[in-house]
Chains A and B, each alone.
Chain A
Amino acid sequence: MTVESRSQAMAIAPQAMRARPRLAVMASIIGGLLALFAMAWDLQLAPGSLFSGLDKLALFGAAAIPPSDGGQLPRILKALGETFAMAFAGTCLAAVAALPLGVLGAKTVISQPVVHFAFRRLLDWFRGVPALVWALILVSAFGLGPFGGVVALALADVPSLAKLFSEAIENCDSKPMEGVRSAGASPLSELRYGLAPQVAPVMASQCLYFLEGNFRNAAVLGIVGAGGIGFELEERIRIFAFDEALFIIALYMICVAGLDTLSQKLRARLA
């Protein structure tokens, strides 16, 4: 009986009766390890270079304690505010620009497959340019200051936000829209009552998430001359004022953590 049922099962689904071959998994693990060693060799990731940098880092660390505001607390706070303003303005600008693009990128809006594919690939392609690269270009074009930074943050966010907005629109339930349509509503009212209440909280939550990220990125942009706290930090490090640099970093970390917590609470309420 068991032999008979076994052969019967073999005949129905022979693959399912055999253990899966593990050879491919082993080969990729070994291949991955070999590649890791080759790359470490090429980049000269030797323990020696680690130790030679470590003692310098220790010197910097010693010089940074105790941290000090250098009597410039108001100026640092102002720069911190400027960084937040940059992040906020950049996110708002990106959201406004991403909304129409996101609508156009949704499969449910533009159902023509070639146009949809081309549009999405274009967004993906622009997503490859990080905010730092945009900032380098824009600061040389518009000069030093937050303006270039805000535009850089917005440009870097638009493709990602547009893609997320498109997905939010595609994932929404079509039944409420059908219900509104069945009452004789026009297409715009259908979007207003059937679609917007579903996607607006998702979009707002995504914007908050991007605001968190932009507040962190805005510091890096300051270093390339786009104003804000990064600019102050870069200045302190250049003149080896590590105690003041540590003060700024600590203050900034507290602000980032505060914003993240606040934003997470808001996003949890939107969900």
Chain B
Amino acid sequence: MRRGGAGVNQAAGAYRTERWSGYVLLTAGAVAVVVPFLSVFLASMQPSGEPVVGMEWPQHWSLDNYRQAWTVAGFSSLMRSSALIAVGVVPASLVLAGLAGYALGTMRLPGGDGVAALFVAGLTIPVELIVVPLYFDLRSIGLTDSYLGVILVEIALFLPFSVFWMRTHFRTTPPELVEAARIDGASSWTVLFRVLLPLARPALTTLGVLVFMWSWNQFLLVLVLIQDATKRTAPAGLGFFVGQNNTDVPMLAAGTILVMLPITIVYVLFQRSFVAGLLQGAFKG
């Protein structure tokens, strides 16, 4: 590495070397990311029930393990549960957070900043803090072993980020837009639907895919709230199979790929939204 005071040409040379080493490292990193995924994929192509050693190229390619995971091991119903829950959580989150974010972001509500702070305070709530009483409370009103119970809790769990996200978005829309519509006599409802909502599409899309991801990946909550094996979600089912010390690695590898597939497809389709959200510090434990 060069010290300060080097000539411009020398410095440029140093830059170029570093840049190359940068790309070498980048590629090494990419390999490190790909290898684990590739090894699961290759394992899923091995003959069912046989032990898998290291990373082996399969003798012949077949989707038998996937078929078996889908039907015999019940991954089809696991995935359906996950999908049902996500279908409940995503639209509801968008509506609730959109409405709340609109009011907290564009209107001057008495005590509005305090309410917004209350939502923000929930940003770092770990599932561990709420899961214990939730089990007992929801059981007493019949919401354990129920998709509705999980859906409601997930919405609540993701709301701090969702409201924060939509509020931030609405605060950045030009105030003139709202004012102009107001002077024309539009109600706050009309302002939201006619003026602001069309502009909020990118923000809502990002929020939607993030909430879908968190819902699809949620594990601890489902593990506790859903005991009924027929209602388990995909990650919970996968965790359960592994916990049983199931030895049919190729079949489980196929199941693992199946669980990762939907979210990966959504990720690739909506990569801009994902990256925008994740890089702006979106997280949920």
The answer to whether A binds B is no
A-side interface residues toward B, CB under 8 Å? none
B-side interface residues toward A, CB under 8 Å? none
